[in-house]
Amino acid sequence: MNQNGKLLLELKNLTTVFPTKRGLVKAVNSVNLRVAPGEILGIVGESGCGKTTILLSVLRLIARPGSIDAGEIIFQGQDLRHLPPQAMRGIRGKAISMIFQDPLSTLNPIFPVGEQIREAMRLHGLVKGRGRRTLEKRRVLEVMAEAGIPAPVSNYRAYPHQLSGGMQQRALIAIGLVCEPALILADEPTTALDVTIQAQIMDLMRRINRDHDAGIILVTHNLGLAAEFCHNIAVMYAGHIVERGPVDLVVENPRHPYTQGLLACLPRLTSREKIDPISGSVPDLADLPSGCTFAPRCPLVRDECRHTDVRLRAVAPGHYARCIQYESGERYTLKKEA
């Protein structure tokens, strides 16, 4: 990881809302995050907690009627929210690129994959002058090889449906790579793939992070994957970051009851303990309970939890958690049920 002193991306109080028939949904609720150059940050949480919305907000791809309601998105010193549309387009795909979840539906079915990769270059005019097409094609083949796509020359002309799932994902990654971005937003890049392919893709991404010094924000619901791969982890619940910090600290010593619950849910090969699932289900984001949003499901819940809005507090250097326990410095232990 590269420490530069200057942050690659900083989200300050980012709030993204969607008006729905049931009410205003705060998909991203006052989120603060930091990514250093070359850092891999994982955002972990259940489906619907707002992780993908954070990524889309960074790129300002939130579709109407949703909108970014408040906060700053500071990328390399610039607040992206204030950029005029043309400048923002210049950043999308070039300085910040995004890798989506389901490659078969994300790739355009009527164009060959090579052309789709090349389009990313063409849009940003990276190559100019005569012989542009040949140079662009050459670069595309390079990127395809780097992404691990075999026989790039013949696969250039292949259509998405002719490739396997793993190859399609590599093509998506190639699209995300071709302009040498400083930050890559990866939305569940391996969820749709087999386990063995998953491992290969994660290796690839690790290599990209190393070789290109590219920051990566990895969004996933798989805590184990994040634990293996990321430098830092942020745990999200119902639009809030409930815990964040270096991966070792968070995984070895989780401080928020939700994180603790998630880790307890992971089956372990060596242990034969019963898995304790977290009771209850994700709340309706349009109808959030007052106070701590996790209170209804928290095994450590107390009366104050339902009335007090809690902020992220440091529990160790670089390690933060949002729980009432840490407001006053007390610690609670899990009351065992008889």
- The residue ranges that bind other proteins (CB under 8 A) are 59, 61, 89-94, 97-98, 100, 102, 105-110, 119-120, 123-124, 159, 161, 172, 175
Q: Which residues have a Cβ under 8 Å from the Cβ of 211 and sit 6 or more positions away?
A: none
What's the CA angle centered on 311, arms 308 and 313, to 5 degrees?
125
DSSP collapsed to 3 states, 239-299: CEEEEEEEHHHHHHCCCCHHHHHHHHHCCCCCCCCCCCCCCCCCCCCCCCCCCCCCHHHCC
Report in angstroms how near the CB of residue 288 gets to other proteins at its nearest.
Answer: 27
Query: Which of 106/232 has CB closer to other proteins?
Result: 106
Query: Which of 158/288 has CB closer to other proteins?
Result: 158
Query: Which of 22/157 has CB closer to other proteins?
Result: 157
Report in angstroms how near the CB of residue 173 gets to other proteins at its nearest.
Answer: 12
Full DSSP string of 169-189: HHHHHHHHHTT--SEEEEEST
Query: Which of 154/333 has CB closer to other proteins?
Result: 154
Q: Name the nearest CA neighbour of 110 among 72, 159, 75.
A: 159
Exposure b/e, 20-34, CB count within 10 A at least 16 = b: eeeeebbbbbbbbbb
Report in angstroms how near the CB of residue 309 gets to other proteins at its nearest.
Answer: 34
Q: Name the nearest CA neighbour of 237 among 280, 208, 193.
A: 280
Query: Which of 73/249 has CB closer to other proteins?
Result: 73
Query: Which of 184/208 has CB closer to other proteins?
Result: 184
Report in angstroms how near the CB of residue 89 gets to other proteins at its nearest.
Answer: 5
Q: What is the rounded CA–CA span in Å between residue 27 and residue 44?
A: 15
Report in angstroms how near the CB of residue 101 gets to other proteins at its nearest.
Answer: 8
Report in angstroms how near the CB of residue 106 gets to other proteins at its nearest.
Answer: 4
Structure tokens at 148: 């691990």
Please count the other Cβ atoms lying within 10 Å of the Cβ belonging to residue 281. Answer: 10
